[in-house]
Structure formats: C-alpha cells, structure tokens
Amino acid sequence: MPLLPDLTGRIALVTGASRGIGAAIALALAEAGADVAVNYRQRFAEAESVAASVTAIGRRAITIAADVSDSTAVAAMVANMTSRLGAPDILVNNAGIALIRGIDDLTEADFDQTIAVNLKSVFLCTHAVLPHMRAQNWGRIVNISSGAARGAGGVGLHYNASKAGVEGVTRGYAARLVKQGITVNAVAPSLIETDMVKAGLASSAARIPLGRFGTSEEVAQVVVMLIGNAYMTGQTVALSGGMAFN
C-alpha cells in the first residue's frame, strides 16, 4: 500500500483556501491527484493564485467566493462547484477567524461571529456535501481544529469554545457516518507560521520544544494522510512541536 494516497478522479472542496494552511492543503491534495475547489470570502487574487498553482500541477481547479457561515451561501457554493467541477468527494473545513480578545474585551458579537465562522460552518458545509458522499458510499471530511480546543491558547475563550466544538462535531459525525463509507477526522495545529501567528499571537518559538513554528505544509501533510486512511475516523491529530501530548 502506498504511503501517499492516489486521489486521481476525486474532487475536493477546501474552505478558506486562499492562503496559509488552506492554500497548502489545496496544493497537497492536487499533488495527490485531486481536482480542487478553492473557497474564499474576500481574497480573490490570492484564491486565483492558489487555483493557478493547482492547474500548474496538472489538476483542475476553480475558485468560489462564499461566506461559509451562511447556509444560503454554502448551498450555492456546493451547487456552483458541482456544475463546474463536480460534486465534492472530499471536504476540508479550514475556514476560520481568530479575533484576539481578553475576557473583559470580548463582546457578544465577537463570540457569535467566532462560533458562526469556526464551528457553524463545519455543520453547514458537511450537511451540504453529505448527499453525494452517501450516494457513492465514500467520502472524506477533515476539520481543522486547534491546540486551543484543549489548552488555554492565546486568542481567547471564544476561540477555545469554537475549536472544542469542532472536535465534538467531528466525533459526532464520525460515529454516525462510519457505516456509510465516510470518515471524519480533525487536525489540531498549534503555533503554525501563518499570518495569525506573525500578527502577534506568538512572537517567538522559544516555548516550543522542537524549537520552531510548524509550517502550513506540515499541516497539509497530515490532512492528506487522514484522507488516505480508510480505517481512521473520529480522531483528532495534534501538531504542537512537543508542547502537548494526547
């Protein structure tokens, strides 16, 4: 059995894929053979660049603008993707926001927006792709969580709650879809070298035992591994450079 899956003929939807971890996942899936729909909300130019990189690998790609916290937008996104590229066999729920707030600065609007974008979107997107996956008795769903789901984190309690919810939803779906050929797993990165980290979440890698920040490509590598493993479901894989252990 090959270590890297052959995803030739499979079609993937990656939310929040215009940059960072999402972009790396889109490219890794293309390298494994999948055609990719690159979802974005505002960053059109960056999304087009990611799609161009996918086509340069030799796979098909499209970009789709959609707010994945809105059910109408999600339904339209999946319909658009299905007509232009094909129905999604693979879903990576990566879209998210990290509003850095202290407990005295956190507002109800901040809390609601974080839950909607980080957690509700996982439900909406999963709900939208399940009919096709069930019909073919095959599907792969990977949700991007965070080490903050189990630790204090540096963003805020609203972010902790949203990512803990992602892991709960992951287990709930996995248990209920396991008989239908659909696996659902999560990846929980900590201190990956992304715009969020560079913006001030962590100025130094000194507290990471491995001695450096993780890379988006390392997260993508784990996502592809989960998609290729038919026996693993309901699990969260942590990438923390040795800061925490399950």
Give dist(CA 118, CA 68) in Å, integer.
Answer: 9
Element (H, E) at 31: helix 20-31
Ramachandran angles phi, psi of 90, nearest 5°: -130, 135
Helix (H) or strand (E) run with residue 32 in it: none
Spatial separation of the C-alpha atoms in residues 30 and 43, rounded to whole Å? 20
Angle (nearest 5°) at CA 97 between 245 and 30: 75
Active site residue 159: yes
For 109-152, the three-class secondary structure string (H helix, E strand, C coil) is: HHHHHHHHHHHHHHHHHHHHHHHHHHHHCCEEEEEECCHHHCCC
Catalytic residue among 40, 159, 173, 231: 159
Token representation of residue 35:
């055609």
Catalytic residues: 159
